[in-house]
Amino acid sequence: QVQLVESGGGLVQAGGSLRLSCAASRGIFDRLAMGWFRQAPGKERDLVAAINWIGSSTYYADSVKGRFTISRDNAKNTVYLQMNSLKAEDTAVYYCARSRTTAPDRASEYVYWGQGTQVTVSS
């Protein structure tokens, strides 16, 4: 059974940092892209950052470029999202997801999802 478990969310002041982690069950990590999505109340779920298997290709939404960094440790079946210089508009539920493909930027190809972790940035 495919399992993705996020952790690291919480409440932080604007300008602060958080690091999200996503632990994947064995066997689902192999050679496929991983990504982080977010969904704010009343808005669609959007792809925020994604990374291919070996970390040579990444995708970032324009709104987070220069502030967020995605990385993965394949030996630990874990993907991370380092979020710096957080803004109130970053407030959302953040979801870890696994793609069906190796390309990180194809949002429609992400089919396995974690339960989400809340990130709240106070201004």
**What span, in angstroms and rounded, lies between the C-alpha atoms of 93 and 75?**
27
> Is the CB of residue 88 less than 8 Å from the CB of residue 14?
yes
pLDDT tens-place string over residues 62-108: 999 999 999 999 999 999 999 999 999 999 999 999 999 999 999 99
Query: Is the pLDDT assigned to residue 28 strictly greater than 80?
Result: no
From CA 14, how far away is CA 51, in angstroms rounded?
A: 26
**99 and 42 in contact (C-beta within 8 Å)?**
no
